[in-house]
Chains A and B, each alone.
Chain A
Amino acid sequence: MAKKSSSSGGVLPFFLGLVVVLFLGWWGFPRLLFSAAEQPVRFSHLAHVDLTELGLSDEEIVKWEEKYPQNPGSACEDCHFFNDDGSFSGIPTNESCSSCHDPDSEPYGEDPEEKRYLEQYLAKDKEVPWLIYQYQPDNVYFSHAAHQDISCLTCHPNVGKTDTPPTHYRNILTDYSNGGYMIQFGRGANMEQAFAYDKDEMADKVTGEGYSRGTMKMWECEQCHAIKGQSNACFVCHR
């Protein structure tokens, strides 16, 4: 009679099922839920922005200057600015790009992506369908102007230091964006820093790990509002 237990394998099938599903749930499920895509144009921030403002080492600055000698040394605000009506310009359109780039002229650099952008988009007056890392649904209104004293990197990934933009992950059920295959509950990265410092103080301390790795969920907004002493009334965000 006692041999029956040994023939059933004891707790081994339990742990086997547990491990298999944990693996599938944490590794396989995100890969099913999120589709990954690269930006339609490999836009290099390092070819455009003022390298001395990025906190790079001297060696890194020399390296990127050699790769992109035509770097115009732009400030973030040159392309990501507030419109006259207070709305935020977000990702630049051809309108902004064409203030420097001219499809009828030679590209500034040797990066084939610049040439491709000029030929396939700017020359045809076609906007680049950029993928939005912090997509927000229609039922909320987010004002950048009201949040401009908080570091951009509190919510956004530090794309300023990228030569290739990060991969964009999209939830195939909700269309929400995500910062990777990772499914994250609870507090986001750098949250303590985000709440503790204002924009200027944050400048030296941010690591570039976005607090919100994709579409911000309501609890994230509410928590920050509560900590900052701001209203959490429905109408503050929902319209």
Chain B
Amino acid sequence: MNRRMFLTFSLGVSAGTMLTPIPWKMTDDIAIWTQNWKWNAKVPKRAVYFSEMASKLDPSGVGVKLAINKGNAVHVAGNTEHPLGKGALSSLAVAEVSMLRSPSRVREPLLKTKHGFQPISWEKASGLLEEKLADNRNHIDMISGDDTGSVNEIFSALMKNLGGNLYMMPGETKSAVRALHKAGQNGRLGYDIENADYVLFLGADALESSGTSVRNAKAFAASHPTGKKAMATYVYAGPVQNATATVSDTWIQARPGAAATIALGLAGLLIKSGQMPEKSGFQAFKNIVLSQYTPAFVERTTGVRADALSKLAKELRAASRPLVIAGAELSQNTETSALLAAIGLNTILGNVNQKGGMQVLSSAPTVVSGAENEALRYEKDLIARLKDMQTGKKEPGVLMIYDANPVYTLPGQNLMAQAMQKAKFVVSFSSFMDETAQEAHLILPNSLTAERFDDLYTPYGAGQVVYSVNRPLIRQKYKTKSTADVLLRVAQNIGIDLGFSSFKEVLKAKAYALGADFAALRQGKAWTQTVIKAHTLNLAVCAVKSPSFNKERGLALAPLTRQRLGTDKVALPPHSRTTISEQELSGTYSVALMNAKTARQKNLKAGEIIKLNGEGGEMQAKVQICEQVMTGVIATATGLGRTAWDNSGKGLGDNAHKVLAPLPEAEAGLTTLAHNHVNIIRA
């Protein structure tokens, strides 16, 4: 090739290059390349996905949609398709995400040494538990605060094999199961509030903390449309104008613990007016209510005037679908006698298992062999057992605590803490460093709801049987494990065959036993059953004296539940800190709300620091005058006075649970937590 040929060839190459994409594409791409350096931060490409689950932190079991991005929960939204939430959320359901990263989470197994808690591997921790359980057979107790989970079957079967006992935490579920059992049925108590046209709440703060409160609030919203005529009447009878009383059509002032007496008084008036259902035990019931629960008696003991009681009876009689929901200002204080009385009253009204009435729902079938059925699990009295431990009458070898914080919640100062001190070895399965966990010898942290398999069966108050299954939706944040799986493995290693190798298999068996589709349940779809069987309830046992009946008429404490301030299981979620009102906390003091008349009678002034002294213990609070509390009653918010958890809730106010004291309910065979009479001591 000579010079001319080379030039001609080059000319051809140059001309050809212009006809190729090389110069044009390179110019374009280099321009883009120089604007997209590799080190520039990129927006995550994966979308946010929503997965359905049922909240276990929220006692009303609200169904939620968890927003997930790359295995992390980033947000929580309501689930319009879930029967227990219907698209609404509670503060505790939101905590399913916000508490995932809580500083108070226990991040790995911890063993208490003389230098405090030290991390320990899961292998060693499980080994230690196996050793303690094997060495202490027949001296093991377990406490569970999970009222809706099949995990209790594993605990129950394990305890049976080890010669131990499972105790369920006191609360409205326990009282309801016991009340139904007393009335001759095994099952769960529910309320078809959506279809009721007249709802009477006796003490139960059902739109805030009692039963399926989120669903109840949705039912209220639907029946009371803005700017339109209400389609149902809601009446609240209780000592404080709480969340339920505030929105109800009528608030009737009634002393704390008055639910049973009012219900029986109303039953008497209805019977007198001719409502006499042919039900089992009616004659005995009638004899008691007519002879003992006269309007005058009800007025004297509860503060509800006789004419107000007559008006209530008239309204109940006139309603097409009346419903009575009994409880207590603090749901865990709900007396079995109150629920028995409400069963009696609803039966007189003829609404049991009727549209808009009280529902007797089936218990969940038991699938783990060796596990006690639900009625038997709720039969044992935890408070009585703790007292035995406290006094040294019966010292446990191993005490295990799941999904409960009894050191903070149970009444009677130090009852739980002292009982724990008597135990040789205490194991907490808490996800958080709560007041109980910090007293334990070993903490085996449970994963949170979004991180584990779990289930939720018909919380107290649901209008129908509801079953939800949760599955791990996000990556484990820390080295936590599902307690159910941990204990199944522990059982296997100490030679106990519970018939299942994983909790997931238990849930599959439960779904099969119910006749539900496990594949749909796994996706977060709730399974419901509305078939109502004819139930026969024995009215003879429904007129039972309230345990607070014989107590002296002093100043009564009405603990207020504000779910956003936390519950027995969860301390103040970080997102709620800014929602604490001046009626709940003043500086670092809890607020004692009382009306001007009570303050005058006790010679107290607003802003004064006082001590409320009850049979259980005492708490400190600052006086605030508030006419939303009836005379003779002091109201104070619960959820404060934390001594564990993290800085967002610690050191704020005092714990009202300390003041309360247990009261035995002989007829129900349980101890309730309702003793709330207090004296005032100037601090």
Contacts from A to B (Cβ < 8 Å): 7-9, 11-22, 24-26, 29-30, 33, 83-85, 87-90, 93, 95-96, 98-100, 104, 125, 127, 132, 135, 137-139, 171, 173-176, 183, 185
Contacts and interface: CB of A to CB of B under 8 A. Distances in A.
A148 B621 CA distance: 59
Contacts of B504: 104
A206 B29 CA distance: 30
Contact of B21 (A17, A26, A137, A174): A26
B606 to A, nearest CB: 47
A96 B29 CA distance: 36
Nearest to A215: B32
A20 B49 CA distance: 51
A13 B43 CA distance: 51
B523 A9 contact: no
A100 B12 CA distance: 61
Contacts of B472: 125
Contact of A21 (B1, B12, B47): B12
B623 to A, nearest CB: 47
List the 8 shortest-distance A-B pairs measured between CB atoms, nearest first: A25-B20, A17-B12, A21-B16, A14-B12, A13-B9, A17-B13, A8-B4, A18-B16
A15 to B, nearest CB: 6
Contacts of A19: 12, 16
Contacts of B473: 95
B660 to A, nearest CB: 42
B25 A33 contact: yes
A89 B49 contact: yes
B534 interface: no
A185 B24 contact: yes
Given A8-B5, A33-B29, A173-B29, A84 B50 contact: yes
B134 interface: no
A15 B22 contact: no
A99 B12 CA distance: 61
Nearest to B35: A139
B519 A90 contact: no
Contacts of B77: 84-85
B36 interface: yes
Interface of B: 1-2, 4-6, 8-17, 19-22, 24-25, 29-30, 32-33, 35-36, 42-43, 45-51, 65, 67-68, 70-71, 77, 471-473, 475, 504, 519, 522-523
A25 B71 contact: no
A13 B47 contact: no
Contacts of B9: 13-14, 16-17
Given A85-B67, A174-B32, 8 more contacts: A8-B4, A9-B5, A13-B5, A17-B16, A18-B12, A22-B19, A93-B46, A183-B25
A21 to B, nearest CB: 4
22 contacts: A8-B2, A12-B8, A13-B1, A13-B6, A14-B12, A17-B9, A17-B14, A18-B19, A20-B13, A20-B16, A26-B20, A84-B77, A87-B47, A93-B49, A95-B68, A95-B473, A104-B504, A125-B472, A127-B71, A138-B42, A183-B25, A185-B24
A14 B33 contact: no
A83 B48 contact: yes
A173 B32 contact: yes
A11 B15 CA distance: 13
B519 A99 contact: yes
B595 to A, nearest CB: 46
A99 B71 CA distance: 16
A83 B47 contact: yes
Contacts of A89: 47, 49
Contacts of B49: 83, 89, 93, 95-96
A71 to B, nearest CB: 17
Nearest to B40: A138
Nearest to A144: B47
A99 to B, nearest CB: 5
Nearest to B80: A84
A11 B7 CA distance: 11
Interface of A is mostly: loop
A78 B479 CA distance: 34
B438 to A, nearest CB: 32
Nearest to A87: B47
Nearest to B42: A138
Contacts, number: 125
A11 to B, nearest CB: 7
A185 B21 contact: yes
Given A138-B43, A174-B33, A14 B20 contact: no
A88 B32 contact: no
B20 A84 contact: no
A18 B51 CA distance: 59
Contacts of A174: 29, 32-33, 36
B16 A88 contact: no
A32 to B, nearest CB: 10
A98 B524 CA distance: 12
A235 B8 CA distance: 50
Contacts of B47: 83, 87-90
A21 B15 CA distance: 9
A99 B8 contact: no
Given A100-B519, A137-B36, A9 B19 contact: no
Given A25-B16, A25-B20, A17 B10 contact: yes
B8 A13 contact: yes
B21 A183 contact: yes
A51 to B, nearest CB: 22
A96 B47 CA distance: 13
A14 B29 CA distance: 29
Contacts of B14: 17
Contacts of B50: 83-84
B16 A7 contact: no
A99 B523 contact: yes
Given A173-B32, A173-B33, A174-B36, A21 B2 contact: no
A236 to B, nearest CB: 18
Contacts of A24: 20
A164 B77 CA distance: 37
A123 to B, nearest CB: 13
A200 B595 CA distance: 68
Contact of A25 (B21, B65, B522): B21
A29 B45 contact: no
B13 A171 contact: no
A93 B69 CA distance: 10
Contacts of B67: 85
Nearest to A100: B519
Nearest to A32: B22
A173 B374 CA distance: 66
Nearest to A132: B45
A139 B8 CA distance: 45
A18 to B, nearest CB: 4
A25 B29 contact: no
A105 B70 CA distance: 24
Given A25-B22, A125-B475, A174-B29, A87 B10 contact: no
A211 B467 CA distance: 48
Nearest to A182: B21
Nearest to A217: B28
B51 A95 contact: yes
A84 B11 CA distance: 61
Contacts of A98: 471, 522
A115 to B, nearest CB: 20
A187 to B, nearest CB: 16
Nearest to B3: A8
A21 B522 contact: no
Contacts of A95: 49, 51, 68, 473
B136 to A, nearest CB: 34
A81 to B, nearest CB: 10
Interface centre among B1, B8, B29, B523 (most CB of A within 10 A): B8
Contacts of A17: 8-16
Contacts of A12: 8
A33 to B, nearest CB: 7
Contacts of B6: 13
Contacts of B12: 13-21
